[in-house]
Amino acid sequence: MNLAENNKVLIIGEVLAPFQFSSRVFDEDFYQTYVSVSRLSGEKDIIPVLVSNRMFDVTQDLTGKTVFANGQYRSYIRKEGERNHLILTMCPYAFMLLDDKEVVNKGGNNQIMLDGYICRKPVFRKTPKGREITDLFVAVNHPYGKSDYIPCICWGENARYAEKQSIGTNVIIHGRIQSREYSKRINETEVDVRVAYEVSVSKIKCK
């Protein structure tokens, strides 16, 4: 497979914040914003998006505007003190404003496809309400000789299927990028509210 085709993302949503400078790579500047994408349930996923200044005029404040972006879901490690944190962000190849008339929320506003390899033992568990879940960690190769590492979550029948797979298995995953808040206790009196990102899997198969 063409390595540009094994990691594909499409989102349509509302920009939540002005662009903020993130990093410079080979004289190309990257700016981050956040895009809110509605689910059919009415809940929203808040997705970090990293845009090149060569692709879009990042001096524009798009807060409240609707945008279309397609590209890849990328990961990198950020060191904070003694610990390393996995950072996930959407990196678009195309990024553009949309007219409200062009937006139709039929559940297709948040799509991802990954073709990668299971790189940790799948972890099966059940929620307090009895829902079956399997956590996967998938490595997706890209053209620069490295890999992106993407946490994925499978439900129900997909969870039972994923649980049986072994490290190194080549899987194709379809789903959506999901954000969720969780609480991290700092000490006896402080609790930090954080956001986790993962792929919520709708389809999974082995190659």
How do strand 7-15 and strand 110-118 relate by DSSP bridges?
antiparallel
Would you state the pLDDT for residue 77?
A: 82
What separation in angstroms does the CA of 44 have from each of 13, 68, 179, 188, 193?
10, 16, 8, 31, 17
For residues 155 and 94, the answer to whether their CB atoms sit within 8 Å is no
pLDDT digits (tens, 9 = 90+) for 95-125: 999 876 555 555 579 999 999 999 999 999 9
Question: Phi-psi region for residue 197, left (φ > 0), alpha (ψ -120 to 50) or beta?
Answer: beta
Query: For domain 7-111, which architecture applies?
Result: Beta Barrel (2.40)
pTM passes above 0.85: yes
> For position 105, what pLDDT does the model report?
56
DSSP 187-198: SSS-EEEEEEEE
Domain boundaries, the chain: 7-111, 113-206
Same topology between domain 7-111 and domain 113-206: yes
DSSP letters for 92-144? EEEEEE--GGG---SS-SEEEEEEEEE-S--EEEE-TT--EEEEEEEEEE-TT
Predicted confidence (pLDDT) per residue in 6-41, tens digit: 999 999 999 999 999 998 888 899 999 999 998 888
171 with 138: CB under 8 angstroms? Answer: yes
Instruction: Check residue 100 and give its pLDDT.
Output: 64
pLDDT digits (tens, 9 = 90+) for 155-196: 999 999 999 999 999 999 999 999 988 777 777 777 777 788
Question: In this structure, are residues 37 and 145 in contact, taking their beta carbons and an 8 Å threshold?
Answer: no
Options 3.90.550.10, 2.40.50.140, 2.60.120.260, 3.40.640.10; CATH for 113-206 is 2.40.50.140
